[in-house]
Amino acid sequence: MNLLSAQNLSHSFEYKLFSNVSLDLYEKESIAIMGMSGSGKSTLLHLLSTLL
């Protein structure tokens, strides 16, 4: 069962954080979002949770 699906997400402030990010998360699956400080990890999670 597909719990979360996101296609072609992009976000930028004064600079581009990320572009064309797609994600599918299925039941009983776990993932890790990894990257350097300031790379947009928290912003991506906020977009996925519809807070942004």
pLDDT digits (tens, 9 = 90+) for 2-18: 899 999 999 998 989 89
- What H or E segment, with its residue span, contains residue 45? helix 41-48
Which of 45, 25, 26 is CA-nearest to residue 35? 45
pTM as predicted: 0.78
Q: What share of the chain has pLDDT > 70, as a percent?
A: 98
- Alpha-carbon span 28 to 1, nearest angstrom: 9
